[in-house]
Amino acid sequence: MGLPRFLRKNSSSKQDPLFQLVKNIIAFSPVDLSLYKCVFTHTSMEKTDEDGQKINYERLEFLGDAVLNTIVAAHLFKSLPLNNEGSLTLMRSKIVRRDFLNMVGEQLGLIDHLSSNVPTKNYSQHVHGNLFEALVGAVYIDLGFERCSSFVFDKMIYPFVNLEKLEYMVLSYKSLLVDWFQKKRIKYAFDVELDDGAEQTNYYKATLLIDGKATAKARAKNKKRAMEKVAKRAYFKFQNNIKSIHDKH
CA distances in angstroms from 148 to 76, 144, 182, 201, listed in the order given? 17, 6, 43, 43
Cα(169)–Cα(186) distance, integer angstroms: 24
146 is catalytic: no
- Among candidate residues 65, 112, 146, 247, the one labeled active-site is 65
Report which residue type is found at 168. Y
- Taking every pair of Cα atoms in the chain, the longest distance, rounded to a whole number of angstroms, is 70
Find how far residue 197's CA is from the centre of its chain: 33
Q: What angle do CA 131, 132, 138 make, to 5 degrees?
A: 85
Q: What angle do CA 115, 63, 79 make, to 5 degrees?
A: 120
CA distances in angstroms from 12 to 16, 20, 23, 92, 148, listed in the order given? 8, 11, 11, 34, 18
Q: Which helix (H) or strand (E) holds 128?
A: helix 127-143
The answer to whether 42 and 114 have CB atoms below 8 angstroms apart is: yes
- Among candidate residues 32, 133, 146, 164, the one labeled active-site is 133
133 is catalytic: yes
Burial of 49: CB neighbours in 10 Å, binned 0-12, 13-18, 19+: exposed
* Secondary structure string (H, E, C) spanning 27-85: CCCCCCHHHHHHHCECHHHCEECCCCCEECCHHHHHHHHHHHHHHHHHHHHHHCCCCCH
Q: Which residues are catalytic?
A: 65, 133
